[in-house]
Amino acid sequence: MGIDLPGGTSAIDVADLPDLSDLGTLGTVTGASLHPDVFAYTASIRFDWRLYRQDVTGSIAHVRMLAVAVPDVMPPDDAVAIEAGLREVYAEIDAARQRLVPIGEDIHSHVELRLREVLEARFPGRGEDMGRRLHTGRSRNDQVATDVRLWSREACTEVAHAIFALQEAILERAGAHAGSPFPGYTHVQSAQPVTWGHHLHAYAEMLRRDVTRLDAAWRATNVLPLGSAALAGTTFPIRRDLVAVTLGFDDVSANSMDAVSDRDFAIELAAAASILMAHLSRLAEDITLWATTEFGLVRLSSTWAEGSSIMPQKRNPDAAELTRGKAGRVFGHLQHLLVMQKGLPMTYGRDLQDDKEALFDTARTVRGALRALTVAVGSLEIDRDRALARAGAGHATATDLADYLVRAGIPFRTAYEVVKRLVTDRLADGRTIADMTAAELRSYHDGFGDDALAAATVTASLAARDIPGGTAPSRVAMAVERSRREVAAARAAWTARA
């Protein structure tokens, strides 16, 4: 019993309207006559017009319910006419989009004022009054809370799907390179060999946790505030349960004062988006480092890396750098929402109108970053020879030699000291572990057998880390397979939602 409105692209995609000074005088549903400077400051239609689908959807659910719960106030025939009028107003806005000439200070006022005109044109002499009954038992406070929740729910879903696409691109690369040697770093210093697949899979894991946080934000969002009216509820015997079912909400809010002033769901979405953006920024930083001449581990595709206007040899990872940069603005939106909420006396305050631009920009920014990085990851090509060489560089298999001695019965700390001495000598004479002979190795400790050097190759080092979560190619392949199944299951679960 959901409400289907045709058209209406994602609200994430639409932009602000032109500046209010171009729009003439806007109406209010309250009949207020504010000074133009004040009005230009307080009116929100320029950005909240993009809630038009959510606002009309909420009003249709409300009027259908009124016809059932209070038919003496809202005759069913009038409800049908109002729904048709709302659909007409919706289609009109959808067709006009950025060229919309609003007549109300916010989207709620615009839809209501326009509905009254549309109904009056269709039912001369009584249409205006018909439209004036729509707001029965409702306030803009619970109305806007409902609209923003409907929007946030969609935004969570869209961002989740954009995450799945990036996860799939990552897992495709990770699966193909489950066994490709790659240098592993701590402190950006050569540490131990890993596989490129293992490194990439780390990001699939971060994104999996991001989806669980988005899921929590979605659940926090999916509670119906409508019916709370201004702050205290309404005197009409409305059926909030019916509205909840129509709009696909899991529950109705339990406290009207909380419901009109609660923006936790917005903060949760911004928090989930911030952590996500931190992960994307790390991925962007890794790609940027890998592609430097100094690291030289990957080649960037011209599908996303741009040239320089002066240096012909350059291919710059602009989309990755922008992701690093734009992380700051998403974190800023989270901060903004927290501060907006923290000093708000109960209940609604106009402060809350300022949740929207932060939310809209958060969703647009993270979805944009996800999409750009999906292209980037899908086109990354590893330089295998260079990656193999760097994987073993810097005595990266020294730990494997120490572990060898431990298997021969030597306490780890003792083995560590033996190998440290050995590595210090190699740093002094400029040779590597691979340059040593078995006899030379034994001069450091007689626990080193003839097979010790074989344990210190990159291939052996990788294969030896054969534990859950380890970088052994077989383990990486298993982890990637498991992640693929998890992504498929999560995608199916999110697709099945409202």
The token pair at 129 is 């009054």
Read out DSSP for 118-156?
HHHHHSTTTHHHHHHTTTTT--HHHHHHHHHHHHHHHHH
The stretch near ligand ARG (CB under 6 A) out of 58-66, 152-160, 345-353, 385-393 is 345-353
CB of 51 to ligand ARG, least distance (A): 9
Judged by beta carbon, residue 341 or residue 397, the one nearer ligand ARG is: 341
Judged by beta carbon, residue 138 or residue 201, the one nearer ligand ARG is: 138
281 is catalytic: no
Of 130, 61, 57, 119, the closest CA to residue 94 belongs to 57
Residue 140 binds ligand ARG, judged by CB under 6 A: yes
Q: Which of 99, 187, 342, 350 binds ligand ARG (CB under 6 A)?
A: 350
Q: Which residue has the tokens 């048709």?
A: 84
Are the C-beta atoms of residues 51 and 147 closer than 8 Å to each other? Answer: yes
| Three-state secondary structure call for residue 280 | helix
The stretch near ligand ARG (CB under 6 A) out of 57-65, 170-178, 350-358, 372-380 is 350-358
CB of 36 to ligand ARG, least distance (A): 18
CB of 173 to ligand ARG, least distance (A): 43
Q: Which of 308, 333, 336, 483 is catalytic?
A: 308
**Helix intervals (H) in 295-442:** 318-342, 355-379, 384-392, 398-407, 412-429, 438-442
Residues 352 to 371 in contact with ligand ARG, rule: CB under 6 A: 352-353
The C-alpha angle with vertex 72 and arms to 66 and 74, in degrees rounded to 5, equals 35
CA distance 333 to 46: 19
Residue 141 binds ligand ARG, judged by CB under 6 A: yes
CB of 42 to ligand ARG, least distance (A): 8
**Whole-Å CA distances, 361 to 117, 144, 269, 418:** 33, 18, 12, 56
Q: Which residue has the tokens 């974190």?
A: 331
CB of 493 to ligand ARG, least distance (A): 31
139 is catalytic: no
Residue 144 binds ligand ARG, judged by CB under 6 A: yes
The stretch near ligand ARG (CB under 6 A) out of 136-144, 216-224, 377-385, 475-483 is 136-144
Q: Which residue has the tokens 């269709």?
A: 122
Q: Which of 33, 187, 302, 309 is catalytic?
A: 187
Judged by beta carbon, residue 108 or residue 475, the one nearer ligand ARG is: 108
**Residues designated as active site:** 187, 308
Per CB under 6 A, residues contacting ligand ARG are 44, 48, 106, 108, 140-141, 144, 348, 350, 352-353
